[in-house]
Amino acid sequence: MSDAYYPPPPPPPPLPADKASGMAITALIFGILSFCCCGFIAGIPALVLGFMENGKINRGASSAKGKWMAIVAIVLGIISVVMGCIQIIWIFFFGGMQVLQGMMQL
């Protein structure tokens, strides 16, 4: 028998940091933009990306750290799309065009 010394194996590499995915961050950015300045133009992508990311998180294909971002993006997207629809209905069906024309003549 040999009394050879074998060193212990190296420690395993550190696990990657569990962070939110890029899709969750993008959905949140679109949600904030839709609520602040871009309306339903950014609200629709916020909804789509938020629902896609939420589905990926529920299936376990994405990190759970982005769940709140996806939910906030969905809520902000819904609010902006609903407000955009109300504005369009007001402009075309409830006399909003007349108000806007009156404002332009001032």
Give the Cα separation of 33 and 25 in Å (integer). 12
How far apart, in Å, do the first and last CA atoms of the chain sit? Answer: 103
List pLDDT tens digits, range 42-78.
999 999 999 999 999 999 888 889 999 999 999 999 9
CB 70 within 8 Å of CB 57: yes
Number of neighbours of residue 82 by Cβ within 10 angstroms: 12
Is the pLDDT higher at 13 or at 76? Answer: 76
Q: Mean pLDDT highest for which of 1-10, 56-65, 66-75, 91-100? A: 66-75
All structural domains of the chain with their residue ranges = 22-81
Q: What is the pLDDT of residue 11?
A: 87
